[in-house]
Chain A
Amino acid sequence: MTEPAFLVLTALVDEPRHGYGIAQEVERISGGRVQLKIGTLYGVLDRLTADAFVEPDREEVWQGRLRRYYRLTDEGARALEEEAVRLADNARRAVERLRLRQAEGLT
């Protein structure tokens, strides 16, 4: 799973969001590091929809413009959890090894 896909799924965990809402949330979650361009965002949404990880929730008209909301599916939540566990596991191993290196006075 790519980082943008991971962040988009994470952005949809608490509530359905529309395109710009997802982009904003991804920027917030990543501490401003990832700023999804609209073309990239919709490319990611296409793939996640094709994998049945997200699905359209509802449509709203806001200030005369269409907002289509997307929500996380159960399958998407499972995939996100698996990926999060895998990444956390990798991060934990990296931290353990770094501590060991520090303990051995290699730094």
Chain B
Amino acid sequence: MSVLEDSYRWVLRLLPAPYRAEREEEMVSAFLEGAQHGEAGLDDQRPRWMEIASVAALAVRLRVGGPGAPPRSFLWGEAVRRVALLGLVFWTMIGFLSAAQALIAYGILADALPDDVIMGIGYAGSPDRLRHVLADLVPLMWAGSLGALVLGRPRMAKAVAVAALVLPHMLVPPVFPGGWEIVARWACMVLPAAVTVPALVIGFHRDAPPPPLPRGQALRMVALPAVPGILLSLVVTALSSLSRADTVPVTLLVQASLWVDVPGLACVSLLIVTVWCLARRRTSGPTALAAAILTVPAVLSRAATLHPGAADSITETINLVGGLQIALLLAGGITLVALSTQALRTVVDGDLTGIRGQHG
């Protein structure tokens, strides 16, 4: 066996074993016939990156299967698609929360804040302020992505989701004064949103298109997370008012705030999904698997806000509530993994009742 053939067979390991058993020999044959036309000998060549990329793309399509795929591949496909869907629903809620907060903080909607309170960055009308306001409004694009997806337009959903993820960081680039630790914390904070985009990109493909919903139903799907997002912005505003009034102990306000920041809301949302999965044990396999996957970035994003060893009462409160949330997420994660394992076993046994037909 030539070095080239050996390398190509190694690349083909990306493909699922049953597919490889069926196709490997003819794929190797086709690949080597093409390679023989090259000038170098078969021991002096390596598969080109484009060739490897084409096999990787095929592997993703086969492993993240659509309705016509084998059961295991379909279950993983559904899980990845639900990672994308749950992520989009969550980030739509955060988008409305962020936008409503910006409208309140910058006094765009109304002068909601007392005259002596200065909020926001930059003075009114300055380019700096405009940049920050836009960075707070851009997360609304997650709602656009969700809307496009449920209307059956996955390409647009993917493009808008990429913009929603990237634009805020382009408008207000992150600053890393403290070296690698700060970079790692920032990466962990970005991870929950970042996970949504690749899940969306690889989950919905030609063999697994999103079933389009009627316009009314699609609008309700976007409004579903928008309403709690707007209500949460009022809660955050109320907490800020209480903080300014100085009538409630700071530690109590910090505790409450930790449940309405992004990692706190991710924790609450995942706990709700876990309870839902437990209630629908028989059919919740793909959702449980998706929520189990989403638990990892949620834990990391909360861990990134903790400062172990700090002595002041506020940081101690942050560590305590954050630690509690991580414990809850881990307990929920273990439950979700158990439910997912059960679903995967069911799939191996060939029973897909309740999972098939839920596509999208």
Contact = CB atoms under 8 A, between A and B. Distances in A.
Interface of A: 18-20, 23, 37-43, 47, 50, 62, 65-68
A23 B30 contact: yes
A64 to B, nearest CB: 9
Interface residues of B, number: 24
B54 A20 contact: no
A20 B34 contact: yes
B29 A39 contact: no
B34 A23 contact: yes
B26 A18 contact: yes
The B contact surface, by secondary structure, is helix
Contacts of B57: 39-40, 43
Given A18-B26, A19-B30, A66-B26, A40 B206 contact: no
B31 interface: yes
Contacts of A18: 26, 29-30
B182 to A, nearest CB: 40
Nearest to A38: B31
B68 interface: yes
30 contacts: A18-B26, A18-B29, A18-B30, A19-B26, A19-B27, A20-B29, A20-B30, A20-B31, A20-B33, A37-B50, A37-B54, A38-B30, A38-B31, A38-B34, A38-B51, A38-B55, A39-B53, A39-B54, A40-B54, A40-B57, A40-B58, A41-B30, A42-B23, A43-B54, A43-B61, A47-B206, A65-B28, A66-B29, A67-B26, A67-B29
Given A39-B51, A39-B55, 8 more contacts: A20-B31, A39-B53, A40-B54, A43-B58, A43-B61, A66-B25, A67-B26, A67-B29
Contacts of B26: 18-19, 66-68
B78 to A, nearest CB: 19
A19 B34 CA distance: 10
Contacts of A42: 23, 27, 58
Contacts of A20: 29-31, 33-34
B230 to A, nearest CB: 42
B268 interface: no
A38 B29 CA distance: 10
B111 interface: no
Contacts of A50: 68
B32 interface: yes
B207 interface: yes
Which 4 pairs from chain A and chain B are nearest by CB? Answer: A39-B54, A19-B30, A37-B54, A39-B55
B25 A65 contact: yes
B191 interface: no
B56 interface: yes
A97 B322 CA distance: 66
A39 B15 CA distance: 10
B7 to A, nearest CB: 13
B50 A65 contact: no
Contacts of B23: 42
A78 B118 CA distance: 70
Nearest to B205: A43
Contacts of B32: 65
Contacts of A19: 26-27, 29-30
B111 to A, nearest CB: 54
Contacts of B207: 47
A69 B111 CA distance: 73
Nearest to B52: A39
A91 B260 CA distance: 56
A94 B288 CA distance: 51
A38 B61 contact: no
Contacts of A65: 25, 28-29, 32-33
Contacts of A37: 50-51, 53-55
Contacts of A68: 26
B349 to A, nearest CB: 25
Contacts of B58: 39-40, 42-43
A18 B51 CA distance: 18
B314 to A, nearest CB: 54
Contacts of B56: 39
B50 A38 contact: no
Interface string B203-215: 0001100000000
